[in-house]
């Protein structure tokens, strides 16, 4: 589907485009991204196009969610290809601001979500969720979208975003969408591009381990032994380091010692220089 598509770089241009839509009574969906789009992102765009009259995709590699030792400079960027693909998918506007537009030199406000943002990823990625919560709050307010779409792949991020949206009374519906996987189970991620051929062959083991953990706890094993077995398995197949494997409450993300009700099994592990994350619902 090829249709009117435009790229804007400033908040005032974005507000002008979206303001016209809103005055015409059209509903607006937002898909926040950092670009390097893949089928995981496109599944969010497809859903937004289906559920809204107009779809805005943001592309902003947010420096505030990268620590100084992370891959901000290396993060894959290809705006021209992303824009072309988005137009084909039926999106209407790409919001691709410069860093100075999102964070003017005198900007002083940040949004943090203690508790949900401190555990799991928060323990290993200093400042990550404050960076995410700040930029997502800004994008939601800048776009005033009716609905915003995020992948379950970043499950903790989705929980943090639901919390901040409720706490700040931002009038948007947050929609979580299923993880899109390669045929061998590897969850799609822009960072998969960093994997060498050898690492790519090992990478699906993270998902396999999460599924094994689910099977183990469903058949009565306690979380600690499922985590221990899972960690050993990942290290034995070639993962360098396991940041965490965890069985948690799907709402609070607090650890569960066994699975008597709904829970989420999450993991983060390093393959060479690439950090992979994944999760499975129980």
| Catalytic residue set | 41
Q: Looking at the DSSP assignment, which residues form a beta bridge with residue 275?
A: 270
Identify the CA nearest to 248 among candidates 238, 234, 235, 258: 258
Interacting residue ranges for ligand PAF, rule: CB under 6 A: 32-34, 62, 65, 132, 135-136, 154, 157
Strand arrangement of the beta sheet that strand 6-8 belongs to: 6-8, 93-95, 54-59, 28-33, 147-151, 173-177
Give the separation between CA 214 and CA 179, rounded to whole angstroms.
17
CB 171 within 8 A of CB 28: no
Strand arrangement of the beta sheet that strand 274-281 belongs to: 241-248, 264-271, 274-281
Q: Which is nearer to ligand PAF, 135 or 234 (CB)?
A: 135
Q: Looking at the DSSP assignment, which residues form a beta bridge with residue 268?
A: 244, 277
Shortest CB 154 distance to ligand PAF, Å: 5
Give the separation between CA 140 and CA 134, rounded to whole angstroms.
10
Q: Which is nearer to ligand PAF, 60 or 207 (CB)?
A: 60
Shortest CB 34 distance to ligand PAF, Å: 4
Give the separation between CA 78 and CA 103, rounded to whole angstroms.
22
Shortest CB 136 distance to ligand PAF, Å: 5
Strands 264-271 and 241-248, how do they pair?
antiparallel
Cα-based angle 89, 91, 97 (whole degrees, multiple of 5): 125
Shortest CB 65 distance to ligand PAF, Å: 6
Identify the CA nearest to 161 among candidates 30, 273, 272: 30
Q: Which is nearer to ligand PAF, 42 or 233 (CB)?
A: 42
Shortest CB 33 distance to ligand PAF, Å: 5
């Amino acid at each position: 589907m090829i249709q009117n598509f435009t790229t804007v770089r400033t908040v005032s241009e974005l507000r002008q485009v979206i303001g016209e839509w809103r005055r015409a009574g059209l509903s607006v969906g937002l898909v926040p991204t950092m670009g390097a789009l893949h089928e995981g992102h496109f599944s969010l765009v497809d859903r937004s196009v289906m559920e809204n009259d107009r779809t805005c995709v943001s592309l902003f590699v947010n420096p505030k969610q990268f620590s100084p030792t992370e891959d901000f400079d290396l993060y894959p960027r290809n705006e021209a290809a992303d824009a072309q693909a988005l137009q084909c998918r039926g999106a209407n506007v790409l919001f691709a601001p410069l860093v100075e537009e999102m964070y003017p030199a005198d900007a002083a406000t940040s949004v943090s979500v203690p508790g949900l943002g401190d555990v799991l990823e928060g323990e290993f990625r200093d400042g990550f969720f404050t960076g995410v919560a700040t930029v997502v709050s800004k994008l939601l307010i800048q776009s005033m979208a009716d609905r915003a779409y995020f992948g379950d792949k970043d499950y903790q991020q989705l929980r943090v975003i639901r919390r901040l949206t409720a706490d700040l009374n931002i009038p948007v519906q947050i929609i979580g969408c299923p993880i899109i996987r390669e045929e061998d189970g590897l969850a799609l991620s822009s960072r998969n591009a960093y994997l060498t051929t050898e690492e790519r062959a090992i990478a699906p083991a993270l998902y396999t381990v999460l599924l094994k953990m689910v099977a183990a706890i469903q058949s009565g094993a306690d979380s600690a032994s499922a985590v221990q077995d899972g960690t050993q398995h990942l290290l034995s197949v070639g993962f360098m380091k396991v940041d965490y494997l965890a069985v948690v409450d799907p709402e609070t993300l607090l650890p569960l010692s066994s699975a008597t009700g709904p829970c989420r099994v999450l993991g983060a592990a390093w393959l060479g220089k690439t950090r992979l994350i994944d999760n499975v619902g129980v």
